[in-house]
Amino acid sequence: MRGALRHPSLVLGLTASGLFAVLALVSLVWTPYAIADIDIGRRFLGPSLNHWFGTDNLGRDMVSLIMSGTLTSFVVAALAVGIGAGVGVPLGLAAAAWGGVVEWAVLRLSDFVFAFPAIIVAILITTLFGPSAINAILAIGIFNIPVFARVARGGALSIKTLDFVAAARLAGLGNWAIAFRHLLPNIASLIIVQGTIQLSLGILAEAGLSYIGLGTQPPATSLGLLLRDAQSLFLLHPSLSLVPGLAIVIIVVALNLAGDGLRDAIDPRLKQQGGTGVAS
């Protein structure tokens, strides 16, 4: 714990993103006003004691919308990280443990997936199944797969050369056992750091996809969808786009700070290199 305190950006980042996460979770059981509570009579209200951030074009309370929208954004980004790590990490580990054809195949596959930016995947899935939050999860998740595969392979390759892995091999362990018993625990910190970064990228990506109508759909709400709702009105009522936009910026900055801080705390050597070492 004392170690963590020496990294102020980690503390700040974790606290701020934790705060938003808690607000998001609270929205499951309580929001100041119900999300579906449409009341045209009180629309476009400015900030007040009753409505801290005012109300939107349908008279819905902005604080409630932000709380619930944050939850969607977090869930979408987190599930996308789950897909990316769940598929990518085993692929990367396999590439490092087996080498040869397996490694070649994993690298080519990740090159290939890189040719499909999340938005193109989202376009294809939306054409197939229609728009929904699941599209965004899949599209961002698929985009995350090669990222985690590369990080896992890179980390595992450097561990693989260490003596204890050679000892394990002498003891008769196969590739599977080495990958999961020895390589995986040692790259866990790398994966967690990358996960934090992908979580913040995922929140940005969800916002973009929902904004153009390929992601979360009403009546559910997300930070991106709030910006989509504000699109036709923001020139007249700027606060409708300011509040959700600022929420996104704060969450993403917080997650990035937490990610940078985690990396420095876990592996001080990376800090000296200047810090881009993880992704390459």
Residues that bind another protein (CB under 8 A): 111-112, 114-120, 123-124, 126-128, 200, 204, 207-208, 211-213, 224, 227, 230-231, 234-235, 238, 241, 245, 248-249, 252-253, 256-257, 273-276, 280
Provide the minimum distance between the beta carbon of 266 and another protein in the complex, in angstroms, as a whole number. 19
Nearest to 223 by CA among 33, 48, 2, 23: 23
Q: Which two tokens stand for residue 32?
A: 């100041």
Q: Which is nearer to another protein, 81 or 243 (CB)?
A: 243
CA dist 177 and 184 (Å) reads: 10
DSSP secondary structure of 204-228: HHHHHHHHTTSS--TTS--HHHHHH
Provide the minimum distance between the beta carbon of 236 and another protein in the complex, in angstroms, as a whole number. 9
Nearest to 188 by CA among 74, 75, 85: 85
Provide the minimum distance between the beta carbon of 44 and another protein in the complex, in angstroms, as a whole number. 16
Q: Which is nearer to another protein, 18 or 117 (CB)?
A: 117
HEC string of 67-90? HHHHHHHHHHHHHHHHHHHHHHHH
Q: Which is nearer to another protein, 167 or 249 (CB)?
A: 249
Q: Which is nearer to another protein, 19 or 249 (CB)?
A: 249
Alpha helices in the chain (DSSP H): 2-5, 8-29, 62-98, 100-114, 118-129, 133-160, 163-170, 175-177, 184-211, 223-230, 239-266, 268-273
Provide the minimum distance between the beta carbon of 228 and another protein in the complex, in angstroms, as a whole number. 9
Nearest to 123 by CA among 110, 109, 138: 138
Provide the minimum distance between the beta carbon of 49 and another protein in the complex, in angstroms, as a whole number. 27
Q: Which is nearer to another protein, 149 or 252 (CB)?
A: 252
Q: How far is CA 169 from CA 89, 162, 222, in A?
A: 21, 11, 49
Q: How far is CA 218 from CA 183, 213, 222, in A?
A: 44, 10, 9
Per-residue b/e over 94-110, b at no fewer than 16 CB within 10 Å? bbbbeeeeebeebbeeb
Tokens 């900055």, residue located: 253
Residue 92, amino acid? G
Q: Which is nearer to another protein, 121 or 159 (CB)?
A: 121
Provide the minimum distance between the beta carbon of 192 and another protein in the complex, in angstroms, as a whole number. 20
Provide the minimum distance between the beta carbon of 53 and another protein in the complex, in angstroms, as a whole number. 16
Provide the minimum distance between the beta carbon of 60 and another protein in the complex, in angstroms, as a whole number. 20
Q: Which is nearer to another protein, 137 or 214 (CB)?
A: 214
Q: Which is nearer to another protein, 154 or 179 (CB)?
A: 154
